[in-house]
Structure 1
Amino acid sequence: MRSISITAERAHRGATACRQGRQPVFLGTAALIFAASTTATILGCASMASMDGIPMPGGWMMSPAWLPMCGQTWREAAVSFVGLWSVMMVAMMVPSLLPALGRYHQAAGLSGASWPGSLAMLAGVAYFGVWTLSGLFIFVIGSELAALAMRWPDLAHAMPMLMGACLLTAGAFQLTPWKARLLACCRKGPCQIGQSANRFAAAGYGLRLGLVCCISCSGLVAVLLVLGVMDFSAMILVTLAITTERLAPAGLRMPEAIGAVTAGAGGILIAQAAGFV
């Protein structure tokens, strides 16, 4: 009886070691995905930067990302925007998402899942599915606003003021307890999965995490939209902000610091639009 117990324990240890040995495979796959998405994002942003923006009343430039290219339909423009947005979000969010997926990978392995890496990757796919839907929503709103600004000169003149107000609101959101709670949910991962280590549970975890993360990052996404949705420098800045507030120790109060800087930039933009600066 004792020999059977010892054999079972050894088998369990062997299976655990095998699952742990797949951790480098999971990390390597994530690194390749990050590298590929970053390369595609750089190429896409470079292509977008080669196109001239549209000078608008009020002294600002409208990004060509919100309008169909020559010969494109609105549907084709939406598909193009959402495709580039999805790739861009992978490049921007993987650095801050990887710890959460790593914890899910570990918890799935400890629960006895045969392929914890595939479950973690499925959770990641579901996570970025939420970001893809957010891109479609953003394009609908942004393209409609762009069309209105081209038809209504008064709205175009007011856009710099509205951009400043957007930054001010985004900065204020960073300071709220709601933001702190959302960020805490993004930071933590499942400690124990139990018997729920399956494809449906992994997809559900990714969808929940993606929804919480989208809401948590909404202020910083607004900053990206104001600075330039396809501007590579703006993407780097926002990526650093998201990664820093997600991975930095809670005691450093990084979200509050980022919010103060964002609100200050919004105030300056409003003052410039009003002619005070």
Structure 2
Amino acid sequence: MNPLARTIHAAGTAQRSRRVRSDAVFVGVSALCFAASTAATIAGSASMSAMGELPMPGGWTMSRAWMPMCGQTWAGVAASFAGMWVVMMVTMMLPSLMPILWRYREAVGGTRVGRLTVLVSAGYFGVWAMFGIAVFALGVTLAALAMQLPALARAVPVALGMVVLLAGALQFTAWKARHLECCRATRGHCRKLTADARAAWRHGVHLGLHCCHCCAGLTMILLVAGVMDLRAMAVVATAITCERLAPGGERVARVVGAVLVGGGLFLVARSFVTG
């Protein structure tokens, strides 16, 4: 082998070695983030359960996540909810986000791919953080109205059943299918990306917006069941991951929709019987 060939071979070997190390770091950091967020989510759920729930007219209970505890300001409640929400989203969304990030890394390559991957992730979870703030504002408003208007509180069980029914119906729409297709984007969708910070951030925001739209119905279920209910989180996270990663994701979405429609009808019927 001549000197030029040896130099090219050595450069290629060094580049492959750097890529393998970078990929190993990506997998390791992702696993650590998932483990840490899962532990924090479990701790947050236990803390919320210890606070108890407020009995309401109509035979249901309201989470204390929507109201300040003794000595706590509204700003503190909002900050606590936002932090809890982001940690919860990392736990639920990271398994289905990792393959997308992996394809992004393959598309852009280069020595800055680690930092760019962080920016994509920050843009993605930044969108979810904004969504969480909107959820908090809506939840606080509805909780205040339910506490002030007993007639409205008594109608909540029927409304929750209707929300589940609506969430199931959304799973069958072309709107859902379009956003799910974007979340299941194939390798070719990433080839036009450029390796710069602005493009990485925008790509993360783009992914986050599609994900929020795609998960709108399933997020409703999470809020109906209880924002920090571990069982609800596990079920919703499993449904989201299967939609994104399993072959025939649209069929999975429709199966989930059928289950939700059935559950919604059951909840509505039960509310009339027990009411």
**TM-score w.r.t. length of structure 2:** 0.93
Write the mapping of 1:108-257 to structure 2, written as runs, cut at 5 A.
108-109=108-109, 113-188=110-185, 191=188, 192-193=190-191, 196-250=194-248, 253-257=251-255
- When residues 276 and 147 of structure 1 are mapped into structure 2, their CA distance, relative to the original with a 3 A threshold, is closer
Letter in 2 for 1:159: V
Aligned twin of 2:95: 95
Q: How far did 1:19 drift?
A: 2.0
Q: Is the 8 A contact 2:147 2:153 kept in 1?
A: yes
Q: Is the 8 A contact 2:171 2:257 kept in 1?
A: yes
Q: In structure 2, the residue corresponding to 1:61 is in which secondary structure?
A: strand
Write the mapping of 1:252-263 to structure 2, written as runs, cut at 5 A.
253-263=251-261
| Alpha-carbon separation, structure 2, partners of 1:195 and 1:239 | 28
Letter in 2 for 1:215: H
Aligned twin of 1:47: 47
Segments of 4+ moved more than 6 angstroms:
none
Letter in 2 for 1:232: L
Aligned twin of 2:82: 82
Q: How far did 1:13 drift?
A: 5.6
- When residues 232 and 276 of structure 1 are mapped into structure 2, their CA distance, relative to the original with a 3 A threshold, is closer
Q: Is the 8 A contact 1:19 1:116 kept in 2?
A: no
Q: How far did 1:118 drift?
A: 2.2
Task: Give the RMSD, CA atoms, in angstroms.
Answer: 2.0
Q: Alignment partner for residue 263 of structure 2, among 244, 255, 265?
A: 265
1:71 aligns with 2:71: yes
Q: Could you report, residue by residue, the CA deviation over 1:45-82 in whole angstroms, capped at 9, with x for unpaired residues?
A: 10001111010011000011111111112111111111
Q: In structure 1, the residue corresponding to 2:51 is in which secondary structure?
A: coil
Q: How far did 1:18 drift?
A: 2.0
Q: Could you report, residue by residue, the CA deviation over 1:103-131 in whole angstroms, capped at 9, with x for unpaired residues?
A: 1111121xxx2131221122111100111
Q: Is the 8 A contact 1:173 1:259 kept in 2?
A: yes
| Alpha-carbon separation, structure 1, partners of 2:233 and 2:274 | 29
- When residues 126 and 195 of structure 1 are mapped into structure 2, their CA distance, relative to the original with a 3 A threshold, is closer
Aligned twin of 1:62: 62
Q: Could you report, residue by residue, the CA deviation over 1:84-110 in whole angstroms, capped at 9, with x for unpaired residues?
A: 01111001110111110111111121x
Q: Is the 8 A contact 1:245 1:255 kept in 2?
A: yes
| Alpha-carbon separation, structure 2, partners of 1:51 and 1:89 | 22
Q: Is the 8 A contact 2:165 2:265 kept in 1?
A: yes
Query: Which stretch of structure 1 is more off in the superposition, 158-167 or 69-78?
Result: 69-78
Q: Which structure 1 residue ranges, 5 or more long, are not aligned?
A: none
**TM-score w.r.t. length of structure 1:** 0.93
Aligned twin of 2:104: 104
| Alpha-carbon separation, structure 2, partners of 1:220 and 1:32 | 26
Letter in 2 for 1:121: V
Q: How far did 1:198 drift?
A: 1.2
Letter in 2 for 1:154: A
Q: Is the 8 A contact 2:179 2:211 kept in 1?
A: yes
Q: How far did 1:248 drift?
A: 0.8
Q: Is the 8 A contact 2:167 2:260 kept in 1?
A: yes
Aligned twin of 2:23: 23
| Alpha-carbon separation, structure 2, partners of 1:13 and 1:216 | 41
Q: In structure 1, the residue corresponding to 2:55 is in which secondary structure?
A: strand
Q: Is the 8 A contact 1:104 1:189 kept in 2?
A: no
Q: In structure 2, the residue corresponding to 1:188 is in which secondary structure?
A: coil
The percent of aligned pairs where both chains have the same amino acid is 49
Letter in 1 for 2:140: S
Q: In structure 2, the residue corresponding to 1:62 is in which secondary structure?
A: strand
Q: Could you report, residue by residue, the CA deviation over 1:243-266 in whole angstroms, capped at 9, with x for unpaired residues?
A: 111111126710000011011111
